[in-house]
């Protein structure tokens, strides 16, 4: 069963059309519902967001970097490790200072984002798909 799940998910994520890939995974979640409802719910969770990179036509190198949360998780872990010996937190300012110090420590381990030169194209794609502020707040732009 695990091999079938892996193959179906890989095929969906590799589909050149993100909407078709998303539809394939939604259909697969429907197939999983009767026998594995937890797995189906897990598959549906965040499904739309996982195909956002494909819908925005982000170049492969940058897409590979954006697909993973490892940089965020590593930063959080380094901050935790950096402050693990603090036994008594005096106030929120102390917590902020230690968090900032941990982030500076994490910064030393960061690497350049692959295809970082394409970040401006990503910004343009995001702005093109963004909902105008007037529309989102319900205010009339003519008023």
Q: Is residue 140 part of a domain?
A: no
What residues make up the domain containing 80? Answer: 58-130
pLDDT given at position 23? 95
Clarify whether residues 50 and 63 are in a common domain: no
pLDDT given at position 44? 92
Q: Is residue 139 part of a domain?
A: no
Clarify whether residues 51 and 77 are in a common domain: no
Write out the two tokens for 25: 């995974």
What average pLDDT does the segment 108-131 reach? Answer: 83
Q: Which residue has the tokens 């890989």?
A: 10
Average pLDDT, the chain: 85
pLDDT given at position 48? 85
Write out the two tokens for 80: 């935790």
Q: Is residue 143 part of a domain?
A: no
Clarify whether residues 66 and 40 are in a common domain: no
Q: What is the pLDDT of residues 37-67, one digit of tens each?
A: 999 999 998 888 888 888 888 888 888 787 7
Clarify whether residues 68 and 111 are in a common domain: yes
Top pLDDT among 55 and 134 is at 55
Residue that finishes a domain, picked among 11, 26, 55:
55
Q: How many C-beta atoms surround the C-beta of residue 43 within 10 A? A: 22
Residue that finishes a domain, picked among 55, 70, 96:
55
Clarify whether residues 79 and 42 are in a common domain: no
- Alpha-carbon gap, residue 51 to 13, rounded angstroms: 8
pLDDT band for 69, please (50, 70, 90 cuts). Answer: low
Q: Is residue 49 part of a domain?
A: yes
pLDDT band for 141, please (50, 70, 90 cuts). Answer: low
């Amino acid at each position: 069963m695990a091999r079938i799940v892996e193959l179906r998910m890989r095929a969906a994520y590799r589909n050149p059309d993100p909407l078709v890939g998303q539809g394939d995974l939604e259909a697969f979640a429907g197939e999983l519902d009767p026998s594995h409802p937890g797995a189906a719910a897990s598959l549906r969770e965040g499904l739309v967001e996982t195909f956002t990179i494909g819908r925005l036509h982000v170049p492969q190198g940058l897409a590979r970097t954006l697909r993973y949360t490892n940089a965020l998780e590593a930063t959080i872990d380094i901050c935790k490790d950096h402050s693990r010996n603090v036994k008594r937190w005096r106030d929120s300012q102390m917590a902020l200072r230690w968090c900032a110090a941990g982030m500076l420590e994490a910064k030393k381990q960061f690497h350049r984002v692959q295809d970082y030169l394409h970040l401006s194209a990503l910004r343009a794609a995001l702005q093109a798909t963004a909902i105008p502020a007037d529309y989102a707040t319900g205010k009339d732009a003519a008023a």
